[in-house]
Amino acid sequence: MRIGIVDLDTSHPQNWIPIERELGHEVMGVWDGGELHPPEYVRDFAQKHQLPKVYASLEEMAKDVDCAVLHSCNWDTRIERARPFVAAGRAILLDKPVAGNPGDLRQLLEWEAQGVRLTGGSSLRFCCEVQEYLARPESERGALHTALCGCGVDEYNYGIHAYSLLAGLLGAGAQSVRHLGQGGQRRVQVRWADGRSGLLVIGTTTRWLPFHATAITDRQVSQFQVDAGRLYRSLLEKVLPYLEGKGPPPVTLRELLEPEQWALAARRSWLEGDREVRLDELGEEGYDGAAFGRFYREQKYGTGS
């Protein structure tokens, strides 16, 4: 495919571009919204990574590419920045978190129903450790009934990785979420109708913590930390063939969006006295992408930026 990069906010673009090329795709250029970096950063990035063009508009990029990869740290910009590519019939890869409110999630599902190829999310959903664990025969490892997943840094931008890791292990179809309290980090329970349960340990930490999981079956307990060095390739190898039109998506979009829904339900739970929140009562409120974008900029460039 011919790929266009939208926004350079995070470290992902510089790490993904070499893999995209190794997998046989051509990176045509970049457009950046300027919410984080000054224009000279974008020009230097394009030169350093040998990108042919810095685009003046998303509409211009949409004429040249087969697929757009959206990387903004402000997830509230995703829908508007995806529109030119939807209109042009292009495929779309949405970096994590895919969106931050129920309305944006519904819009993505509407676009998929119209035939738009889009996917993305956290690479933890497809990490090698989960794939290797699930590839073991159930007769050997047992039936998975409980999993604990966690990571550090923050509740949503990074916390979504833990939700996605849990989804990778236990799959979609959860019915309710409940915040279990805060002490060190937030603790969240995700429940399935068949009795399976997931526990998440997420939120602010004084230092980075590794992605970790504990899987409990009727036969054994398995624990692992995720090798961050393999994450990006595991995601791109799963999603790029679908975006290219060479096969089905690795999971349906409705399933892919469940980690974001779980996180939205957890937020509602802790704002409403830690009550259990069903996934069919999310409301319309969500995580503030613009506020996170400002915070992210200040962390990189200081409060005077």
Q: Quick one: which of 206, 214, 218 has its CA closest to 162?
A: 214
CA 157 to chain centre: 8
- pLDDT score recorded for residue 304: 61
280 within 8 A of 304, measured Cβ to Cβ: no
Please name the residue ranges forming H helices in 155-219.
159-170
The angle subtended at Cα 113 by Cα 112 and Cα 117, nearest 5°, is: 25
Burial class (CB within 10 angstroms; exposed 0-12, middle 13-18, buried 19+) of 244: middle
Domain ranges of the chain: 2-122+241-246, 125-230+259-286
Tell me the C-alpha distance between 104 and 79, whole Å.
7
264-284: string of b/e by CB count within 10 Å (b at 16+)? bbbbbbbeeebeebebeebee
191 within 8 A of 174, measured Cβ to Cβ: yes
Sign of CA dihedral 38, 40, 41, 43: positive
Helix (H, G, I), strand (E, B) or coil at 156: coil
19 within 8 A of 233, measured Cβ to Cβ: yes
Q: Which amino acid is at 186?
A: R
Name the CATH superfamily housing domain 2-122+241-246. NAD(P)-binding Rossmann-like Domain (3.40.50.720)
pLDDT digits (tens, 9 = 90+) for 166-206: 999 999 999 999 999 999 999 999 999 999 999 999 999 88
66-94: string of b/e by CB count within 10 Å (b at 16+)? bbbbbbbbbbbbbbebbebbbebebbbbb
DSSP letter assigned to residue 54: E
- Structure tokens, 119: 């996917």
238 within 8 A of 126, measured Cβ to Cβ: yes
Tell me the C-alpha distance between 152 and 162, whole Å.
9
- Tell me the backbone φ, ψ of residue 119, rounded to 5 degrees: -165, -175
For the 125-230+259-286 domain, the top CATH level (class) is alpha beta
β-pairing, 197-202 with 91-95?
unpaired
Helix (H, G, I), strand (E, B) or coil at 65: coil
Residue with tokens 């906010």: 9
- pLDDT score recorded for residue 303: 75
pLDDT digits (tens, 9 = 90+) for 196-255: 999 999 999 888 899 999 999 999 999 999 999 999 999 999 999 999 999 999 999 999
Q: What is the block-wise mean pLDDT of the chain (305 residues), using blocks of 10 residues? A: 97 97 98 95 97 98 98 97 98 98 98 97 97 96 97 95 98 97 95 97 92 97 96 97 97 98 98 97 96 93 73
Tell me the C-alpha distance between 99 and 133, whole Å.
28
Tell me the C-alpha distance between 177 and 37, whole Å.
37
- Report the predicted TM-score, pTM, of the whole model to 2 decimal places: 0.96
As a residue count, the chain comes to 305
CA dihedral angle for residue 252, residue 199, residue 99, residue 123, rounded to 10 degrees = -60
- pLDDT score recorded for residue 207: 87
Tell me the C-alpha distance between 176 and 272, whole Å.
14
